[in-house]
Amino acid sequence: MMSQAFYTGISGIQNNSIGIDVIANNIANISTVGFRGYNTEFASLFGDAITNSNASNDTIGAGVRVQTSMIKSQGVLALSDRSTDLAILGDGWFGVQAKGKPVYTRDGSFTFDSNSDLVTNDGYYVLGTVGGNISKDNILTSQINQLPLSNIDNQQKLRFPKTLTFPPQPSKKVQFFANLGVGKDPITVGSTVVDPKNNNNNLSLLFKRNAVQTPPGSQYSVIATTKSADGTKLYDTKTGIVNFDAAGSLINTSLTTIDNNGVQVAIDLGSNFNGITAINRPYAPGSSKADGTIGGDLVGYNVNKNAEVIATFTNGRQSSVGKIAVYHFRNEQSLDRVNGTRFKESPNSGKARFYTDANGKNINGVDVLNYKLEGSNITLTSGLTELITLQRAYDANSKSISTADQMIKKALDM
């Protein structure tokens, strides 16, 4: 029995020492971004059963064993001044990779390096879905508002060119709105239209009431012209007739399209009372609405709250060019810690996976907050409390060894 007391005490010292190391590591990383702490869980080793006079079974313990489990609670969110600093609100992990298999982290301290690669502070590449809307000569091929995640095996390093061009989108259609009314003649309504060479040109319509009218409606002639913004170049001139009914509602027009430095632009005067009208009221300035976009150069990349990498251009346009992936595990508490805030898959954690929506499409499944970082999920007060508890247990086991040693000495002396 006395030798068993030695083994029990030694077991307690060893396992409480492990527990102290775990809690000390937690406390040391209170200020570490994305740190996940561990709890210690103790259980008795098998002991010898004894029977007392009351016929109830008791056991003489044979020591303890310890195991650790990850703490899953959310860390405190702190504000940041970079849109590339991200925090996951809920379960999930960012995937980062240098060489070999990816590792997973809650630390969203990301930035764009000199090559416009999205990386961690120590150079690990952030994994996600690339939009595929950038050509080899660094031209944006399509404007994407929201990018879905590709298959989990197709996630890759989020690399983006340092220079990127938003190509001009020539105007294809212009809608005009005005009331020709009474009291002013002729009337001009204009619009800015984009040509294929990335120029903003002027498209103007000159309406003039015909000298000879055919009741009950009214008739106007219209001259359309397209010119350069400074007026020095004339690209095209078209004429037509516009007919209105007695109430001033547009019936029809013969003016349909006009050339804008190499591209045909459809002229939409509307219908009925939506567009160009000739109501018997005083003239008011008209307006227009044209499609098309002037080209622009890259201003920079940012990350929005949907974890999408957004390219912003000098023409004010934006487009998603990539999406940061959020990985999930069936048992994330069994992930193996690689170092600090990084973990890898284990047999008990299961393979990394994505959540899916009702249509079976891959989604992050959680909110990703930009301009925020998740701090450690360990507080100093709880860490110190656990440390004191384990230290006292360590001392108690140490005393049990000393007591067993004294008992053996007395037995030998006898």
Instruction: Indicate the domain borders of the chain.
Output: 2-73+376-413, 79-166+308-373, 173-290
Total residue count of the chain as it appears in this document: 414
Averaged pLDDT, groups of 10, the chain, 414 residues long:
57 62 80 87 54 52 67 91 93 93 95 91 95 95 94 94 94 95 84 96 96 92 97 96 94 96 97 90 86 94 91 95 96 91 94 93 92 88 68 62 67 71
Task: Determine the pLDDT at residue 158.
Answer: 95
Task: Determine the pLDDT at residue 225.
Answer: 98
Distance CA 28, CA 380 (A): 9
Selection from 139, 136, 155 nearest residue 147 by Cα: 155
User: Other C-beta atoms within 10 Å of 32: how many?
Assistant: 17
Task: Determine the pLDDT at residue 44.
Answer: 59
Distance CA 101, CA 107 (A): 18
Distance CA 337, CA 34 (A): 13
* Crossing angle of the two packed helices 380-413 and 2-28, in degrees rounded to 10: 160
Selection from 292, 322, 309, 306 nearest residue 366 by Cα: 306
Report helix, strand or coil for 30.
coil
Query: Any idea what DSSP says for residue 46?
Result: P
Task: Determine the pLDDT at residue 195.
Answer: 96
Selection from 396, 397, 369, 311 nearest residue 106 by Cα: 369
> Any idea which fold 173-290 has?
Tick-borne Encephalitis virus Glycoprotein; domain 1 (2.60.98)
Task: Determine the pLDDT at residue 337.
Answer: 92
Pair 316, 296: CB distance under 8 Å: yes
Selection from 58, 65, 60, 57 nearest residue 48 by Cα: 60
